[in-house]
Structure 1
């Protein structure tokens, strides 16, 4: 890898900032951030220059930027190639066999993907330790983040099928978070670069993404509108029910993602 990074810059930057300012924030990853601040942070991540102090008071913008980065990858972090295997594993009724099948699929991930999913899941497991305060149980995190980690490589409009598929994806992500130390044994150092806790300035010429294509320009991560929109609609349908259940204020799709026509995209 040109950059020599083990963890993609946006993932490490967002996770490390959230560890400092967002662990006890209620509704992290599901409360909509300010659209303008989200766009600004995404632009900063594109440039690999993040002022930690500027965003430390707005963990929802940080969480929103992380979700957006994951969703806008050309291929999900958990890969198209393993999609069927993940789904088949989630359909196994016996828990021990289901967990083993999920572990087997996880071990087949390319190294860069495995490194990044390990990093992210270990963070989500730590976040769940504060669920009495932040209300983000493994199930809730799987609902709002799962469809950004795995989706099918389908042709045409997939809106109708995605609601059912999203439920299956929740069944994949939730147990992985619950059993994070079994899937990914050992401790993890989140602040790998040691740059966080003060304003971060990273060489713009260094490629920040270590997955799945290290040589990819940030602009090339954009997906065609028709490919990305059905996924977001299905995800939002699940989130609407989630918000209704917990009494959260509903927001429009454009407000939630901060993606307006002509806006900054990663």
Structure 2
């Protein structure tokens, strides 16, 4: 029973035990749509399960449609309000001349109007291409589900009526047989008693009537059996038809869901990028964002500190609250964070050092290629810190990478990595906390280390490794291992450079962990089970089906194979270089003078030339800076004269 798994089917919880070998045979390439339909047809409640899943799918699609419709409505309402506010403000601002930064703010309002118009048009297209498509497919599936439900109920009623008629005919046939036996017994008894002829004729006639009734009951029973078998065959055909049709409808619906999700997410991303791009352009506008003209004097605009930029600030609504920075009560000019509730004066933003508690970090959950590193192919510092700490003092710790750490300590360590980067001190941290942080880092990646586009190829290699474990011939096994190593190398070469270097680093680290198996009890197989789903996962992994269970075993086998054959796949680990020779204590012999070669002269000339070019470059930069300063002074004096003329 240990090599079996339990599958629960139907609403009544019917239990079916399936062996792993049968599951693996079904999960190979032979497991297709026909096999799935056959498995559902074999189940007594297959149609009910299919109809129930179709109903759940329709309810799920309805919830998604509600969210999508509300999101589109909010986007359109937001664009409408932004347009209205921008047009009103623009009409007022353009009537006032000689105001500071008037052109910048007018341009921002025009950009708001354009962005809102584009957003409105985009949301209308989103409603037509996504909402209506998903709604139509949902209505189609629900319509067919209702029709199939009625058809299945009618067929079941016919089958139940046929079974009931069969039971009645059988009961009648048995009753007629009993009456015939009684009539035969009475007739035989009359012959023995030698009664009158009339009595004998009467008993003989009763026996003949009983035989006739038995024959009629038998004919009726045979007809009912034939009808029941015919209804059973028809019921099986209808069952197969309903299951196949529902499966096709669900597959079509899943395809529509995928397309709708891709288009809607792309659309919302485009809207967000378009909104933030205009403000980034205005923020990067030189000079105008740093200086304001007020009453003939120039004052610097207050800039928020780096910690203050992590908050979502708004005008403070509450009254009489203490400022978190200066500890004075806020009477006017107060702002607060929408997420963490931090309240400060506007003038205190420059000195604020409290970061938002709810802000998203730049380490966990960030795209792998965007992580901070010196070179694009470098391993992230968190991976280097964690693996280095484990190799320095936890190679022999029992259950390393298998035992989880404390959740509060893990969260605290994650926050430390976010804020302190590679300056985190791990000397006093539990090894299990360090390994849990490393696993959490890989799990939070939007795309796993072994990327989504290569998932099916890696799973196919995992299947080859599974078949390899069943081979007995050593020569054939060696050839298969060599082929698998070549295939893995080709797949790893298709990874981005940063992913490849990190995979190589992790496999070498896990290989060194497995070398201490006797102490830490973590063999390559155990490490594969831990890191298989972490380093390799499908694009959509929400369902826990039989195929998903199989693929998890293939993931573990793949990682185990890469750990075991690390040297063949990635090459031997880099060794320490040869130490330099000792410094000689005896005086060295004098070296005879050499004739100067043309190459050396050319080198000296090139150095002189490079120095001259550097000096020329510095002089040109100084000249450009002085020119810019002179232009600024001229512009300031011209502006002051114009303002004095207006005042007079």
Whether the TM-score (by the shorter chain) exceeds 0.5 is: yes
Q: Which whole-Å CA distance do the structure 2 matches of 1:103 and 1:74 have between them?
A: 24
Output the TM-score relative to the length of structure 1. 0.66
Q: Which residue of 1 aligns with 2:503?
A: 117
| Contact 2:410–2:437 (8 Å) recurs in 1 | yes
Q: Deviations over 1:41-69 (max 9, x none)?
A: 111222214112231xx100001110000
1:171 aligns with 2:541: no
Q: Which residue of 2 aligns with 1:130?
A: 516
Displacement of 1:96 in angstroms is 3.0
Q: Which residue of 1 aligns with 2:544?
A: 159
Q: Which whole-Å CA distance do the structure 1 matches of 2:460 and 2:551 have between them?
A: 12
Q: Which whole-Å CA distance do the structure 2 matches of 1:9 and 1:30 have between them?
A: 22
The 1:54/1:150 distance shift into structure 2, 3 A limit, reads same
SS at match of 1:186: coil
Q: Which whole-Å CA distance do the structure 1 matches of 2:442 and 2:452 have between them?
A: 14
Displacement of 1:185 in angstroms is 1.1
**Which of residues 431, 434, 438 is equivalent to 1:62?**
434
Q: Which whole-Å CA distance do the structure 2 matches of 1:59 and 1:127 have between them?
A: 13
Q: Which whole-Å CA distance do the structure 1 matches of 2:402 and 2:463 have between them?
A: 26
Displacement of 1:188 in angstroms is 4.2
**Which of residues 360, 374, 380 is equivalent to 1:4?**
374
**Which of residues 415, 420, 427 is equivalent to 1:53?**
427
| Contact 1:90–1:98 (8 Å) recurs in 2 | no
Q: Which whole-Å CA distance do the structure 1 matches of 2:424 and 2:405 have between them?
A: 17
| Contact 1:10–1:45 (8 Å) recurs in 2 | yes
Q: Deviations over 1:4-24 (max 9, x none)?
A: 141111111100110112100
Q: Which whole-Å CA distance do the structure 2 matches of 1:109 and 1:43 have between them?
A: 29
The 1:188/1:72 distance shift into structure 2, 3 A limit, reads farther
Structure 1 spans left out of the alignment, 5+ residues: 190-266
Q: Which residue of 2 aligns with 1:95?
A: 481
Q: Which whole-Å CA distance do the structure 2 matches of 1:3 and 1:129 have between them?
A: 30
Displacement of 1:159 in angstroms is 2.5
Q: Which residue of 2 aligns with 1:104?
A: 490
Q: Which whole-Å CA distance do the structure 2 matches of 1:159 and 1:45 have between them?
A: 33
Q: Which residue of 2 aligns with 1:225?
A: none
Kindly tell me the number of residue pairs found equivalent between the two proteins: 186
Q: Which whole-Å CA distance do the structure 2 matches of 1:44 and 1:135 have between them?
A: 30
Structure with greater proportional helix content = 2
Q: Deviations over 1:233-255 (max 9, x none)?
A: xxxxxxxxxxxxxxxxxxxxxxx
Q: Which whole-Å CA distance do the structure 2 matches of 1:166 and 1:67 have between them?
A: 17
Q: Which has the higher contact order (CA 8 A, sep 6+)?
A: 1
| Contact 1:91–1:98 (8 Å) recurs in 2 | no
Q: Which residue of 2 aligns with 1:26?
A: 398
| Contact 1:102–1:172 (8 Å) recurs in 2 | no
1:149 aligns with 2:519: no
**Which of residues 437, 443, 451 is equivalent to 1:79?**
451
Q: Which residue of 1 aligns with 2:216?
A: none
Q: Which whole-Å CA distance do the structure 2 matches of 1:141 and 1:122 have between them?
A: 12
Q: Which residue of 2 aligns with 1:13?
A: 385
Q: Which whole-Å CA distance do the structure 2 matches of 1:3 and 1:122 have between them?
A: 20
Displacement of 1:110 in angstroms is 1.1
Q: Which whole-Å CA distance do the structure 2 matches of 1:87 and 1:118 have between them?
A: 19
Q: Which whole-Å CA distance do the structure 1 matches of 2:520 and 2:532 have between them?
A: 18
| Contact 1:119–1:188 (8 Å) recurs in 2 | no
1:36 aligns with 2:408: yes
SS at match of 1:52: coil
Output the TM-score relative to the length of structure 2. 0.28
Displacement of 1:186 in angstroms is 3.3
| Contact 1:99–1:175 (8 Å) recurs in 2 | no
Q: Which whole-Å CA distance do the structure 2 matches of 1:132 and 1:186 have between them?
A: 23
SS at match of 2:522: coil
Larger-Rg structure: 2
